[in-house]
Structure 1
Amino acid sequence: MKELLPHLGKPRPERADAARNRALLLETARVLVAERGASDVTMDELAARSGLGKGTVFRRFGSRAGIFQALLDEEERSLQQAVMGGDPPLGPGAPGLERLIAYGTARISFLFDNHEIARATLDGGQKAPAGESPLSRLHIRMLLGEIKPAFGDLDVLAAQLTGALDGPLMLQLPAEDLSSATVERQRKRLMHGWTELVTQICGP
């Protein structure tokens, strides 16, 4: 079956200098996150470290939350590329159930690896979003169509499985569960839970 995944919106064409500024700001943001964590990154510091004016930062991203949303979107595109053209079982070429297990475990790892940035996309004045990835539901629905589990409504099942991955999961876990002492244990538990869930629903 042909992959029919939704491509994340492509940025509008930019002037060369605008594109350079955007790339510089995102790379500077990554460095600052690695140095001190996303919660301590400020617009003033981002402007100073990048050598650009604060007005340029606001024009590019609108707000502090917008910077982290742009970082998260770039990581999402990398996951999408792996799903569409990477090695199996995450990419094409493996049986549907294997790909479904691989996608769920990859998505869980994505959320663990990016949980701090995901939290920083919230501006403090809004509730946690529903958090559904543009990639997840259509991809899961496509795989369910290939697997053909004994379930009456595959659209509903796809929505429910998407919710199991994108609650948003990492925004609901307490910060202590994401500490260095417990993060790998939590990651493995959730991956194991996903594998058991879809195997029970979709297995022979």
Structure 2
Amino acid sequence: MPERKSRKDAVRNREAVLKAADALFACRESPEDVTMADVAAAAGVGKGTLFRAFGDRAGLLRALYEARLEPLGEAVESGPPPLGPATPPRDRVLALLDALLCFKLDNRRLALALEAGGASSSPYQPDHYERWHSMLQAVLEQIPGLTDSDFIAHALLAATRADLVEHLAGEQRVPRERMRAQLANLATRVLVSGPGQGAAAEG
């Protein structure tokens, strides 16, 4: 019984921490303004509990990011159209990129904090990047005549990087719908430029 209670407490504390962190990142001007002490205080837990559960600030950011991304990941892997497997590959690529861009726009501060930080200086090593690259590459490989799916997946994901999204939406004030249309136009041009695709498009 004590062990079960301990597990329940751990789950409850984790949920409280993620909820508190979510609220703090939503209301602070800069991601760097949110400290582990702030999150612990808002969640009503000790800093030791926070560090035991998430390891460090980067671990907390990853957990919060993954919690927000989970519904999108499930939709891509097994959901209905336009993200799910029943959608034609080209349409699915466009839907996946659009969904990811919208996610970044809706979670600008959190995405920027996660992609700018972490133990590695490379933006390509974190698990969340590898997950989306693998998912996009798998769909690209289903498009007949398209080669270099590994590189194309990297190139298309670069257009959804959090720092670029922040620059366009935050500094240049590019409207959301315009950004979505620009990304769709870029992806469409890439997808019709593979071997044999340009001729098919012209015919």
* TM-score between both structures, scaled by the size of structure 2: 0.76
State the match for 2:3 in structure 1.
Answer: none
Shift of 1:24: 0.7
* Pair 1:148 & 2:144 matched: yes
- Structure 2: 5+ residue runs without aligned partners? 1-5
Shift of 1:174: 7.7
**Number of residues of Structure 1 aligned to a counterpart in Structure 2:** 186
SS in 1 for 2:142: helix
* Pair 1:30 & 2:26 matched: no
8 A Cα contact 2:82 2:92, kept in partner: yes
* TM-score between both structures, scaled by the size of structure 1: 0.76
Find the aligned partners of 1:19 and 1:35 in 2 and give their Cα distance: 25
State the match for 2:154 in structure 1.
Answer: 163
8 A Cα contact 1:39 1:120, kept in partner: yes
93, 101, 108: which is aligned to 2:101? 108
* Pair 1:84 & 2:80 matched: no
Deviations 1:35-84 (A, max 9, x none): 22433211111111111111111111122222111111122322210112
1:176-195 alignment, distance < 5 Å: 176-179=167-170, 181-182=173-174, 184=176, 185-195=178-188
RMSD between superposed Cα atoms in Å: 2.8
Find the aligned partners of 2:103 and 2:194 in 1 and give their Cα distance: 23
- Structure 1: 5+ residue runs without aligned partners? 1-13, 152-156
Identify which range, 178-187 or 64-73, moves more after superposition. 178-187
State the match for 2:124 in structure 1.
Answer: 130
Cα 1:168–1:55 change in 2 (3 A) is farther
Find the aligned partners of 1:75 and 1:177 in 2 and give their Cα distance: 22
SS in 2 for 1:159: helix
8 A Cα contact 1:33 1:41, kept in partner: yes
- Specify which structure has the higher proportion of helix: 2
Greater CA radius of gyration, 1 or 2? 2
Find the aligned partners of 2:163 and 2:154 in 1 and give their Cα distance: 12
Identify which range, 62-71 or 160-169, moves more after superposition. 160-169
8 A Cα contact 1:88 1:94, kept in partner: yes
Find the aligned partners of 1:146 and 1:118 in 2 and give their Cα distance: 29
Identical counterparts, % of pairs: 32
- The amino acid of 2:12's aligned partner reads R
Cα 1:144–1:51 change in 2 (3 A) is closer
Shift of 1:172: 4.3
1:36-75 alignment, distance < 5 Å: 36-37=28-29, 38-75=31-68
8 A Cα contact 1:108 1:165, kept in partner: no
8 A Cα contact 2:20 2:42, kept in partner: yes
Shift of 1:91: 0.9
- The amino acid of 2:187's aligned partner reads W
- The amino acid of 1:29's aligned partner reads A
State the match for 2:10 in structure 1.
Answer: 18
